[in-house]
Homo-oligomer: A and B are copies of this chain.
């Protein structure tokens, strides 16, 4: 019986992870968490009977405590509560599907406690990749990615062999093919209309700006130890090929599947085994065609900006990520236009004096400072 804690269990990946757990039937849920969606968390507590549940929002936690007083689940709150849930009990793995750099401290707490990390929270690796990877190595903890692209790469390298190049596929997002002028008037609704994937709001906006692909390049760099110049992004509108690895001999392995987050979640939960999933099969005879093209980095400038921040290293990716989280939140609440997201991030990077090897404390302070300044 596998034992699993899910942080961010009321979000898009979190709810799908619980669907996977239900399908598998042999996974015990140790802990759950939400930011403030206690109505859904209560249902999850009653269904999965975790030992601990956290609500980041203090008021929500207090209300939840009352609501589930008849259960055996311990309710904790705030950032400390999230970290307690991350390291609680005897979970073998912690699935981190919280959104944003708020995942950093609980991820570190889980690693410190020796839990494998099923990582659906890319911002943690973007903001503090070097530190997190080093800590995971020290603690002999596996990081199994859930992002479909990184799950694909992870699956492709299971057979061993030196990596020459990683080819990340990009759907192009909701605004593929648009000009700069057209981007100017993009509404929240339009930016949220992703053609292939159903995901949370923040990542869907990141997909529309192509920032998501830039963040994924940084994530891939840390997860697989591949230099930035050996990571290529290719637009693949159909989202069937989830990413590829070119090996030293120029042979390429690709992982494919229907565009359904439950597949990489299922893979990560079952790893290293492959167990029948609820995800539909790919029908090749019905595929007809798969297309590949260069991304339009003249129109979508956040992807190259993110990669530059990654290459620059030090505290630059922390600034990039914090400014992006702040800007996306502002766009979603209607306070800035779509193209102003780009401007805010560019400005934050331009005015930052890089710290070469930031500590965890410096990263957290920097992340908070930028978010407050841009809020």
A323: Cβ under 8 A from any B Cβ: no
Taking CB atoms, residues of chain B closer than 8 Å to A130 are: none
A275: Cβ under 8 A from any B Cβ: yes
Taking CB atoms, residues of chain B closer than 8 Å to A273 are: 161
Which one of A68-76, A285-293, A348-356 is at the B interface? A285-293
Question: Is the Cβ of B284 less than 8 Å from the Cβ of A232?
Answer: yes
Taking CB atoms, residues of chain B closer than 8 Å to A276 are: 248-250
A257: Cβ under 8 A from any B Cβ: yes
Taking CB atoms, residues of chain B closer than 8 Å to A251 are: 155, 255-257, 263, 267, 274, 277
Taking CB atoms, residues of chain B closer than 8 Å to A246 are: 281-282
A234: Cβ under 8 A from any B Cβ: yes
Q: What is the total number of residues of chain A having a CB less than 8 Å from a CB of chain B?
A: 51
A118: Cβ under 8 A from any B Cβ: no
Question: Is the Cβ of B284 less than 8 Å from the Cβ of A249?
Answer: no
Question: Is the Cβ of A292 less than 8 Å from the Cβ of B288?
Answer: yes
A252: Cβ under 8 A from any B Cβ: yes
A114 to B136, CA, bound (A): 43
A193: Cβ under 8 A from any B Cβ: no
Residues 207-255 of A at the B interface (beta carbon under 8 Å):
232, 234, 241, 244, 246-255
4 residue pairs, one from A and one from B, having the closest CB atoms: A158-B159, A161-B274, A159-B159, A252-B256
CB-defined A-B contacts under 8 Å, sample of 11: A155-B251, A159-B160, A232-B284, A249-B263, A249-B274, A250-B263, A250-B282, A251-B274, A252-B257, A253-B256, A288-B292
